[in-house]
Amino acid sequence: MDELFKDKKDFREFKRWIKTLRSGKFLQGYGRLETITGTGIKEYCCLGVACKILIPKDKIFVTHSNAMSGFDPYDQHESPEWLRKINADFYTKTGNNLMVLNDGGSHTFQEIADYLELIYVYNAITNEDVKIMKEAGII
C-alpha cells in the first residue's frame, strides 16, 4: 500500500474509485469536478468521480446550477485527505497530473484508472518508465 494512504479504509476508497472509473456509470467531462450540460447531462472529471462517490451527498458543495463546485478535491472540504493529495503525488511520481490527463481529452477514465492502479496498487511504474511513456506521448 502506497504511503499516500494512511490506512486500509483510504486504500479501499481508492480501489472503489478505480472500479467506478472503469464502470461506465459516469460520463467524462473536462475542466471542473462536475459540469451540467445545456441538456441537463452531468459530466465529471476523474477527480469529480471520486468526490461524487466518496463524499456524502449532503456534504457536497454545489454551485447555483446544482453542479458540484470546484476544479479539484481541495474545493470540496469533505473530500478524503488522500484524494486532496493524489494529484500532486501523481505528479511527483510521473511528472504529469491527473487534471492534465483528464482535461487534455486524450485519456479515458479507463486509461486513467490503469495508470492509477499501476502506480498505487502494483508500484509498477518507475521514473524510467515515465520517461519512456512521455517520449511515446502516452502521458
Query: Which 8-state DSSP code applies to residue 69?
Result: P
* Predicted local distance difference test score (pLDDT) of residue 1: 67
Interatomic CA distance for residues 89 and 77, integer angstroms: 19
Which residues constitute the domain of residue 74? Answer: 8-135
* Predicted local distance difference test score (pLDDT) of residue 93: 86
pTM of the predicted structure, to 2 decimals:
0.89
* Predicted local distance difference test score (pLDDT) of residue 64: 87
* Predicted local distance difference test score (pLDDT) of residue 128: 72
Please check whether residue 113 lies inside any domain of the structure.
yes
Please check whether residue 3 lies inside any domain of the structure.
no
**Residues of the chain falling short of pLDDT 70:** 1, 125-127, 130, 138-139
Interatomic CA distance for residues 32 and 16, integer angstroms: 21
* Predicted local distance difference test score (pLDDT) of residue 135: 78
User: For the segment 49-67, what is each residue's pLDDT rounded down to a tens digit?
Assistant: 999 999 999 999 999 888 9
Please check whether residue 21 lies inside any domain of the structure.
yes
CA distances from 55 to 34, 73, 97 (A): 14, 10, 22
* Predicted local distance difference test score (pLDDT) of residue 127: 66
Tally of structural domains, the chain = 1
Please check whether residue 2 lies inside any domain of the structure.
no
Q: Give strand pairing partners of 42.
A: 36
